[in-house]
Amino acid sequence: MNSLRKRGIIIFSILSLVIVACGGAAEEEVVEETVEEAVVESLDSPAVTTATAVKTGTGVTAEPCPAEIGGVPTGADQSKGCIYLGLLNDYTGPYAPAGPGLELAQRAFWLWANSPEEAGGRGGIGNYSVAIREGFDTGYNPQKHLEGYTAIKDEVAALAMSLGTPQTLFILDEMDKDNMVGVPMSWWSGWSYKENDKGLIIEFGSQYCADGMNAVDWSLENLGDIKTVGIMGFAGDYGSDWAAGVAKAAEANGLTVAWTYTPPSTEFDVAQAVGLMVTQPVDAYFPAISAGLMAQVAGGAAQQGLTPFAILAGPSFNDAFVQEGFPLKGLFESGAIYAMGLGVAPYEADTPGHAVMRATMGQIVESANAFLVAGWSSQYHLLGVLEAANKGGDLSRAGIRRAAANVTVSSDGMMEPRELGQDRADTAAYIGIPDGSIGSGQRVLAFNYQGSSAKSYDWTSGSCS
């Protein structure tokens, strides 16, 4: 396992430079803490009353959390016990530049959540504070993801993050055996359906498929006469999910799809993508690729005299695009390019949750990177699940899993309230325009936007891809 303490020395300086690199049988729990005898209402029903006897299990200790982990304070109350969370991150693979930002924001979230209510925090989870253990480097590789899960599973009550959709799916059977719930760092539409996630995944933010639909509807409402479109993306949970949403909305609105280019990420050819735009011009195109390739595609098309409207999936945008000195700054700020959020609205958004995040993160680092927002917001729903499990008197992994199947969670306005455990997608989206005068590089144009395509689509039919 990588040493987070070594990374802690450099994590803050790394974060300031972060840019997009560019998805069975229950384990027996025997540890138990009893405050006093009480009848505890089952979490099989959402109507959970406050319990006075709290059952605990793996990853929950009577001993307090460490004051810091890897140089990052936990804010733990040293008079309380500790709920430990696991972290499957990427420090050496394709999302390594994003990993430190995601992780730091997640740790900062629990620093805030552990702080006393009179100081503006949440006071932890009942008689417990929460701490994320040392992270494990998966390299964005499914096999290493499984190795990491195996290494940490006996030390944690839940996963604060499991980075990547294929990687998380690869360990899902093991999670099922262990009653291990977790937060994915991906927005695949399949996470909204229990046939896919076994009731273990605590999803958050808008999904790629709904974002694709909303991107089309919003562009038709705001960008003028659009009749012909192109779809671009990586094959797989990210690009295919987005492409499916764009295609469904295009059909619903009577648009012509001139071309669809969705090869595997390792086979994406910028020249071929630009060639499609040259030989089959479109009024707008909708890409779901990496940020690095996005700059090449947009720049290559502009060299050919083509600047159609582009509405980008969240991971396709990088705030570096609008920083001084970037050669394509003018293109990205020209009014021809727009971007969806990375699951949630950007750093400067006007919600109580964003305000708390800014107040906390502002004491740690000078950055407004989108991955800070994704990392922070990802923990809100896990907080709600742990609070419900504690309220129901069962902080064992089985109890946490039952809570995750029944609770309605909120995020101080960062996202719409979400009823977990239901086959229902989150269709509210954020849309912005690149703007270098703003810290996150985007100015908010629409928040919690839901177009007619997403509203009318039958989301009970399952994942889009």
pLDDT of residue 47: 41
Q: Is 175 among the domain residues?
A: yes
Residue 50's identity, in one-letter code, is T
CA distances from 194 to 106, 197, 239, 460 (A): 25, 5, 22, 11
- 44 and 146 co-located in one domain: yes
pLDDT of residue 13: 35
- 202 and 221 co-located in one domain: no
Alpha-carbon span 248 to 245, nearest angstrom: 5
Strand ranges inside 117-202, DSSP E: 128-132, 136-137, 158-163, 182-185
**Number of Cα atoms under 13 Å in the Cβ half of residue 39:** 1
For the record, the structure tokens of 98 come out as 């994003």
Q: Is 251 among the domain residues?
A: yes
Q: Is 212 among the domain residues?
A: yes
Q: Are 367 and 376 in contact (CB under 8 A)?
A: no
Q: Look at the block and give the residue holding tokens 């910028």.
A: 270
Q: Is 424 among the domain residues?
A: no
- 8 and 33 co-located in one domain: yes
Q: Are 371 and 389 in contact (CB under 8 A)?
A: no
- 435 and 302 co-located in one domain: yes
Strand partners for 136? 88
Torsion sign, CA atoms 288, 291, 296, 302? positive
Strand partners for 261? 232
What does the pLDDT average to over 90-101? 87
Q: How many domains does the chain have?
A: 2
pLDDT in tens, 211-255: 999 999 999 999 989 999 999 999 988 999 999 999 999 999 999
pLDDT of residue 50: 54
Residues spanned by the domain of 83: 4-206+347-419
pLDDT in tens, 339-380: 998 778 889 889 999 999 999 999 888 878 888 999 999 999
- 308 and 363 co-located in one domain: no
- 183 and 306 co-located in one domain: no
SS3 400: helix
Question: Any idea how long the chain is?
Answer: 465
Alpha-carbon span 312 to 321, nearest angstrom: 13
Strand ranges inside 164-234, DSSP E: 182-185, 228-233
- 176 and 321 co-located in one domain: no
Q: Look at the block and give the residue holding tokens 């932890």.
A: 124
Domain CATH code at residue 191: 3.40.50.2300
- 100 and 192 co-located in one domain: yes
Q: What percent of the chain has pLDDT over 90?
A: 67
Provide the angle, in degrees to the nearest 10, between the axes of the packed helices 380-391 and 99-114: 40
C-alpha angle 305/308/309, rounded to 5°? 150
- 44 and 180 co-located in one domain: yes
Strand partners for 137? 89
- 134 and 220 co-located in one domain: no
pLDDT of residue 88: 98
- 369 and 396 co-located in one domain: yes
Strand partners for 442? 434
Of 244, 189, 250, 187, which is closest to residue 217 (Cα–Cα)? 250
Is the confidence at residue 10, as pLDDT, over 90? no
- 333 and 362 co-located in one domain: no
SS3 85: strand
Q: Is 272 among the domain residues?
A: yes
